[in-house]
Structures are given as structure tokens and as C-alpha cells.
Structure 1
Amino acid sequence: MNALAGVIFHFIGGFASGSFYVPFKKVKGWSWESLWIIGGLFSWLLVPFLAAYTTIPNFMDIILATDLSTLFYTYFFGLLWGIGGLTYGLGVRYLGVSLGGSIILGLSMVFGSLMPSIYYYLYPAAGKQDINYFFTTTAGICVLVGLLICLLGVILCGRAGVEKEKGLKSSVLVGDVNVDYNLKAGLVVAIVSGILSACFNFGLEAGKSMATEANELWKATHPNQGEFLFQNNVTYIIILWGGLTTNLIWCIYLNVKNSTFSDYSNKNTPLGRNYLLCALAGTTWYLQFFFYGMGESRLGNGASSWILHMAFIILFSNLWGVLLKEWKGVDKKAYRTIVAGIVVIILSIVVVGFSKTLE
């Protein structure tokens, strides 16, 4: 039951992450940097604080009692992840929700799932899976197979993107086609984003002692009730401060460079609606990690949790891409390829989820 609950929580988190950009697409008359930072204030500052406050009443005591080295590395990985998150927005802008999300999150999935295991091979730690897990255990081999299947799905989605570019006129609006579509620029941004986005998982590992403390405090007052579902909410605070720092600096720079500070008070735009849409996008974005933490509490902070999280995000990003008609105007071959990619990713989710029953 723990494995099934973990998969369901990751499913909800993946839906939230794969869906968060949709409200942004409805914002009218604002520059990208303006909508991005308003959404970010909700996703990286306000909602995480509220979530921690409501689930871990003493979360600030845990943070204040944590050694500076742990806080620094957790925050530092948050800074790097923030760059990945920042370029994620640009990747989606240039490649669309489906293709951009697939490439970025596919890379993040590989680096985020494998790099910690390599680290723990070099520096063993009790309770942590090292790289041998993927080659010497039935469950680990199953996880690795699921990872490879998901990568195949990502490749198919990328292939569909190439076919899409062939079928569209450069920078020409065709119905609902994304006018910012730029494969070359998008790929560069997506690769940077995918690698750095994996730093969120590194931040979770660096700040694990805070989550462990929250877990132990909860278990002391709730004996025999398993692991604390919301233990990671305290760690998120520090990681997301790092992400907020990176994105706030960049977006303010763009506001100055592009003279777009007026967006926030421009009465020629639907201000109330824009703020609400950004708040919705930011809150939805945070929910991915709220439910990721719940899933991790049931599956453990190993490769399978990160792979499932990424796979569900890729799945929903592609489904939204289809529903939002990002593939309108392309030939049937490209459309069949993106559908095939979605099916393969679903298969990978089943394989990784099954692996937990083998442990």
C-alpha cells in the first residue's frame, strides 16, 4: 500500500508541475519577467512558508538549530536549481510546454536520479542507495530499465519536435502555434535547465537532516503511524529561498533592461486577472513538491521517487501540449510521434512503480 500511495502522490505532484504554466499562458499584456516573478513570489516564498507553518508548527526552530554548513549547501543547490527553473520558463517559451518540458525534465530525471547514487558510492552513508543498487538488485535493475524506457519516450518527444519544426514556417503564426518557437535557442536553454534542475534533488539530500528532525518530532507524538508525510516542507523553505534569489535578481534585471516595471500597475491590462493567474500558477507549481514530499515519505528519497516525479511531469506536460493545440499545423507523423512518446513514458511509470514492490 505504501508503494501505491507513493505513486499516487507523485501522480498528483506531476500533474501540478505539468500544469502550472497553463495559467501563465492566459496572462495578458505583461512581459515574461513580470509574470514569472509574481508567480515565483507565491511558489518560492509565500506558499512554502504557509505550507510549512500549517504542517510543521515548529519549523523555524528546526531551521535555526541546523548547522550553517547544511543550510549553506541546501541554499546553494537551491541557487543552482533556481537557474534551472529560470531557464525552464525560457525553454517552454521557445519549445512549447510539451517539447520543452520533455527535454528539460528528461535531463533532470537522469542527473537527479543517478548523481546522488554516484556520490554515495564514493562517500557511503547509512540508508542511502549507491550506484551498485542499479546493477546488483532486482528492484534496482527494474528502476534502471524504467529510466531507460522513459528516456526513449523523451527521445520520441524530441523527434516529434524536430518534425514539428519542419512543418512550421519560421516565426509565422499558424492558428494557435507558438510564435516564439525556436528549436536551436530552445535546445541550448533546455540542456542548461535540465542539468541544473536536478540540483533540487541534491538540495533535498543536503538538507535531509532538517526533514529527519521534523519526522522524528512528529513520530514522537504519533507513534506507530509510519513516516511523516510533510517532513520535507521544512527543507523546501531553504531550497526555495535559493531559487527565489536567482530568479528575483534576473527578473528585476529584465524589468530594468526592458522598462517593464510598469506592467505591475498598467491599467490597460486586466491587472486583477493577471495577478490571480500568476498566483494560481505559482501555487500550482509549489504543489508539485508538496506532493513529492508525500510520495517520498512512502517510497523513500531514492532514484525511484525522482524518476516517478519527473516522468509524471513529462507526461502531463506533453498532454497539455496536445490539449493546448501546440501541435496544430504539423503533419500526422509528428503528431503520431508525440503520442508514441506519451505512451512510452506511461509505460516507464508502470515499470518504476512496479520496482518498489520488488524491494
Structure 2
Amino acid sequence: MTTAFDPADLAGTKLANRLVMAPMTRSRAAEGGLPTELTAEYYAQRASAGLIITEGTQPNVNGQGYPFTPGIHSAEQVAAWRVVTDAVHAKGGVIFAQLMHAGRIGHPVLLPGDMTPVGPSPVAAKGQVYTPEGPKDFVTPRELTGDEVRATIADFVSAARNAVDAGFDGVELHGAAGYLIQQFLGPVSNQRTDEWGGSVENRIRFAVEVAKAVSAEIGAHRVGLRISPGTNPFNDIQEPEPQPTYAALIEALNPLGLAYLHMIEGADRDLMLTIRKEWQGTFILNPATEGRPTGVEELKLIEDGTADLLAYGALFLANPDLPARLAVGGPFNEADPATFYGGGAEGYTDYPALAG
């Protein structure tokens, strides 16, 4: 029987175990979207994960949706990320950069000059985003032109190349949580009538083209995709009938040989199991746990074959040595939501490891 503590082969990359540190926005980047020495310490502390996936990292300036998030579209950012990857590799870890374009999620005050958030269609998300000026309502995004859609794909490609140059072992394309890639997938956020919208085939096109282009640049074995189909209404994303869309998406992506598919499970376990069955590669699951952090109970999902790798968020945030703690059943530090976003070392690098 395979367990979560057994090694794994991720498209040729050797993982020490099957426990994944899920991507989590921490909003602690320095001016210019630069990761810091504290960022390097944070990820290096968690290098015992089989795989670390970083916080969402914008592939271009217009992709930023939150304050103090890092980018990977400038030479300075690449150099700063190299300090992080070197620190993780020195501890024997494996780290992928999550490439996240926020699309319509964000606000003009977070962007330089007269930039405004963009999206597949001029449809505003309901809700608010935190900014340095306080919470603000989401704005109506500017619709990307066809040429701009292609340019955005090229920006993902450039960011992926930058990630490899910065020492990352691969990249994860963020197609979940209501950000740009999922905005193209959703029939409410995407109301286009050109080749990028309308039919299922057209709505999946952006995700597929990004995956193809990035794979051609850095190799499919270095590329993963995160999804949150249908029943995860993050950022006002609406997918009332997700099955046809994601069946078509998986059918189009399977031939590429991506490193993995990473799914955030919603309330519909049958949908998750269907996607798991249809996906031909490595399957990472961030399971639904009814409001509590993913814990020891979920380790059985590796043992029964539901998932190949298991992603932990809040528990990894609060427990830098999480694999060791899971192996002995705890105890576990409790995450402090007050320090999730922004600030310094408190709630970031000061969570203790097990004694001894």
C-alpha cells in the first residue's frame, strides 16, 4: 500500500514524500514585487514537503490582484527568487512557482499609472478586495482584445522561462479560485463571441493555449495546472454546469503530458472522482474538509488511491515540519488568521518545529 510518506516521481522530478505545500498568498513582497530574505527563510523552513508550490506570482504587471504580492516578470524579481530557490534546494526541497494572473480580481489602486484590471469580458465580480487604502469594490474589468489575449499567453511563457532561470523546478498555472484562467472557463465571466468564448471549446482555449505554450518553452514535465471546478465560488466565479467544460479541458490537456493536475475539491466529490478518473497523469488533491484544515484524516486519500499527492494549506503555514508531525499524528500548531497577510516574521517564520 502506498502511503503519503513514500517517495514519488513527478514527471522525472524525485519527491521525498507525497505531501504538498499548497500555494498561499502571504502579501509580504517588497517594493517592486520582490521576494525577500524572509521569503527564503519561510519556504526553506518547509522544504521537507515533497513539493512546495509558492504563493501566486504575477506573470506581468497587470496580473497583480492584491497588495505586496511577488512577480516574476523582471530581472530583479528573478534574482530575488533565486535566493529563495537556492535556500529550498539547500534543504533538499522541490519548489514550483505558481503563475497567477488575477484578471478582473483587483483594483486600479494596486496597479501603476492608469492601468485597470482586465478580463475576458467587462463583467465585474461581486465583492471587495483589500488595498492599502482599505477595502474597495471590484471594478468592471477592461475586456482583453484578441491581440492582448495572445500577449498575455506570451507573458505566461516569459514568466515560466524566468521561473526556470530563477532555479524553480517547475511552474503551476493558476486556473482556479476565480482568477484569469478560470474567468475564461466560466460562462458568466466570459461572454465573448470570438474564438475565446461562447462554446465549451472556445472557453477552454485560453487555458489550453497557455499550457501548450508554457510546455513548449520549459517542457511539460515542469508544468502543472490548478483547477477548482464548479462548486468553488471563489471571487464570484460561476460555473453552473462544470462537467462538460472540465471534461473537454482534461481531454485537451491529457496529450500534453503535464507534470500534474492540482484540484481544489468543492462540495461535489463525484465531480472530483470523475476528474481523477479522466486525468491520465499525476493528480494532486486539496480535499474538501468542511471548514477545518486538511489533517491526518485525509492521509487515507493517498492510501486508497483517491489522490497521488495531497496538498495542505493552513496546516503547512503553521507547521514548518508538517510531514514529521503528520507521521506521528501531531501535535499541530494552530494557524493565526490575523497574520496571514502582510507584516513581517510574526505568523510567517516564527511557528516552531517539534522539539528534538
TM range (shorter): under 0.3
- The TM-score normalised by the length of structure 2 is 0.25
Larger helix percent: 1
Larger Rg: 1
Larger strand percent: 2
